[in-house]
Structure 1
Amino acid sequence: MGIRMKKKNIVISCIAVIVIVGIFVLFYWMRRVQLYDDESTTGNTSGNLLNGGLFCEVDDKIYFANPYDQNMLYSMNSDLSKVKKLSDDNVSYLNGAGKYLFYTKRNDKKDIDADSFMALKSTGLYRTNLNGKDVARLYDDPTQVACLFGNNVYYQHYDQKKGLQLYAAKIDGSSDTQLLEDACAPYAISNQTIYFTGYRSDHSIHTMRIDGSGDTVLLEGNFTALTIQGDYLYFMDMADNYSLKRVSVNGGTPETLISERLATYNVSEDGNTVYCQVDNGTANGIYELDLNSKSLNLVVSGDFNYLHLTSNYLFYESFDQSKLYVLDLATNQSEEWKWEK
């Protein structure tokens, strides 16, 4: 009987160990960062990132930096219903795909003592679940533009001695690699290629493979605000009154789209429409360019900034960032976005 009891106890102990190990394995499996199967996964549109990445649409949700609450992280349905606060972080350059959001955290911009520990330790590149939980840091010093492509976030990494440089951080935090010493902004990534305008040595349009190799000048000039949509690169020509132009991703002769001086712009995902802020001093306002007919029409007069597109709306802010407006793309009607804390 004693031998049987000992064997029974051993079996129970073994089963208990197996269960405990299984629970730990299951917990680890559930908590581990799931990499994307698609190596071309993107987290936001190129045009939205150009405008600060303050809005990002994932499936039927819009994630955004609420300008009425210190740009803290919020979500709402794609029809603008059910507004919900997700985090106290001041966020920008939002990228979302699958179950994750990635963003640049700038809590040093919030209403806190600039000399406090919170201000000094509240910047960087972060990953969180779509509900704002399980926040993880990918880089803990100031960052600027960030763009998700595949399983890496390409971002402007700040170093006190070297300034901004282009890095690639793997989404699970396992690597953080310098790609380029130049402070280029990675707004435009497609087909395993980073398109960017030079910063220190020139302002030409460059192409580079996503591993940091093969830096090549695609188009010489004095350009800024480079984005990509479909087979075209869009940019503002600083040597030609900040006019909007585009060129094929393969290079060639650029095409002038808007000769007026622009402050910013955004291109619709279908590549049919450009929304832009004309800043010529006489007829300032948001305009809509039909890329098929090339007709340019006024949407709303005034001085605005931060143009963000979702599937149904154009969001834009007053120049002083005191008000947020929303344009219904179906009706072309615009109004101030109402929010109560």
Structure 2
Amino acid sequence: MVKIAIGAIIILAITIFITSYILINRISYNKDDATGNTTGNLNNGGLFCEYKGMIYFANAADKNKLYCMTSDCTNARKLVDDSVAYINVCGKYIYYVRNNYSPDAIAMVFRGQLFGLYRCNLDGSHIQTVTTDKSGMISLCGNYIYYQHYDDNTALTLQKIKIDKKDQTFIDDTEYNVANVYNKKIYFSNPNQRNRIYCLDTSNDSISPFYDANSYLVDYEGDYMYYIDLDKNYALMRVNTKTRVLEQIFSPPDGIIVNYNVYDKKIFVQVEGKNGLTTGLYRLNTDGTQIEYIAQGNITNVHCTSKYTFFMYFSDQQTLYRVPTTGTFSKVEIITIK
């Protein structure tokens, strides 16, 4: 009887172990139209991503390691000891590009673990390698991650891989910008076609023309396609995708627009001026009204969330600043996350 009891216990323990292993490793799939971050955030490096009341971010004060905090910037904690970029969050998982290039991480090169694409649970547990390929920008679309793949022979190309690490597929030998995922399609400026706006249909990965403009940094939001027009002195434009009516949103008289981030009814715009007085960060409504000068100087890494928009100065990418995204603006705040 004792032997039988011991055998039953062993079998039960093995069953529990196998069941737990299966549950832990079972992939939670997304809806086909799922996305992982906003276009504007990905165009700024994907260092911040808001999901269900939480902000997942690369903490500049801690070598860009993966942290999370509530949307009001409280209760910050470290999730993963990796330096990260191009954060995408959806369902049960955080997806990111590992960016551990530092003297302390050189040994990782020899293990093929530098600049890979990774997935972990929302609490930072159960880190999985999706691919060890060197990656540029990544963007989640449904159950696939589209990414700029790099190797020494072909340089950058466009590829995709399923979130379960299967079905790795070559798409094109041009590293198209994959930041703008909208309604299961990816929109981008095509450098091979005079920067005209093209569309990648993710149902079959076909690529076709969408709109004729000499564009840069496209962003399809609602009824409008936003872009910087290279033929109009880098002015910010938007075209109504239903009526095809074109509007100029913002064109600083003494500068050019080098980047922007659309969130809800607001746009944050980076201007490179001919003089120091116009260089800086601006905020305006999506129809071009109510232009506000937010911060003077060379700004970078502008990321929008529901409550706050974060940014840094190009000369100091360890100090983080924030302003309200949609509320009344009074002053720029320094935020320190430890």
Both proteins in one fold, TM over 0.5: yes
C-alpha distance in 2 between matches for 1:149 and 1:125: 15
The counterpart of 1:95, out of the listed 77, 88, 91, is 88
Alignment of 1:1-341 (within 5 A): 9=4, 17=11, 20-21=14-15, 23-36=17-30, 38-108=31-101, 110-112=102-104, 117=109, 121-249=113-241, 252-260=244-252, 261-268=256-263, 270=264, 272-282=265-275, 283-292=278-287, 294-320=289-315, 321-329=317-325, 330-332=327-329, 333-340=331-338
Contact 2:178 2:186 in 1 (8 A): yes
Offset from partner CA, 1:279-306 (integer Å, 9 cap, x none): 1223112111112462322122222111
Shift of 1:18: 6.6
What amino acid maps onto 2:333 in structure 1?
E
Distance in 2, Cα, partners of 1:154 & 1:28: 27
Q: Is the contact made by 1:303 and 1:318 (CA closer than 8 Å) also made in structure 2?
A: yes
For 2:228 and 2:71, how far apart are their aligned partners in 1? 30
Q: CA deviation at 1:339?
A: 3.4
What CA distance in whole angstroms lies between the structure 2 residues aligned with 1:293 and 1:205?
Answer: 22
- Aligned equivalents of 1:214, 1:153: Cα separation in 2: 16
C-alpha separation in 2, matches of 1:65 and 1:119: 23
Q: How large is the RMSD of aligned CA atoms in angstroms?
A: 2.6
Of 169-178 and 111-120, deviating more is: 111-120
Q: How many residue pairs are counted as aligned between the two chains?
A: 330
Q: For residues 1-29 of structure 1, give each alpha carbon's deviation from its aligned partner in whole angstroms, at most 9, with x where no partner exists.
A: xxxx7xx95x9957964763354134302
CA contact (8 A) 1:94 1:104 kept: yes
Identity rate, percent: 32
Amino acid at match of 1:207: C
- Based on CA coordinates, which of the two structures has the bigger radius of gyration? 1
Q: Is the 8 A contact 1:274 1:291 kept in 2?
A: yes
Task: Return the alpha-carbon distance in structure 2 between the equivalents of residues 299 and 164 of structure 1.
Answer: 36
| Structure 1 pair 293–304 and aligned structure 2 pair: CA distance change class (3 A) | closer
8 A contact 2:249–2:287 mirrored in 1: no
What TM-score comes out, normalization by structure 2 length?
A: 0.88
Matches of 1:248 and 1:13 in 2, distance apart? Answer: 70
**CA distance, structure 1, for counterparts of residue 24 and residue 203 of structure 2:** 30
Residue 231 of structure 1: CA displacement?
A: 2.4
Using the alignment, how far apart are the partners of 2:66 and 2:336 within structure 1?
17
TM-aligned CA distance change 1:80 to 1:213, over 3 Å: closer
Q: State the AA in 2 paired with 1:275.
A: F
SS at match of 1:101: strand
Return the offset for 1:210.
Answer: 0.5
Could you tell me whether the CA contact under 8 Å between 1:183 and 1:199 is conserved in 2? no
Provide closer, same or farther for how the CA distance between residues 53 and 13 of structure 1 changes in structure 2, counting only shifts above 3 A.
same
CA distance in 2, matches of 1:62, 1:14: 47
| Aligned-residue offset at 1:52 | 0.8
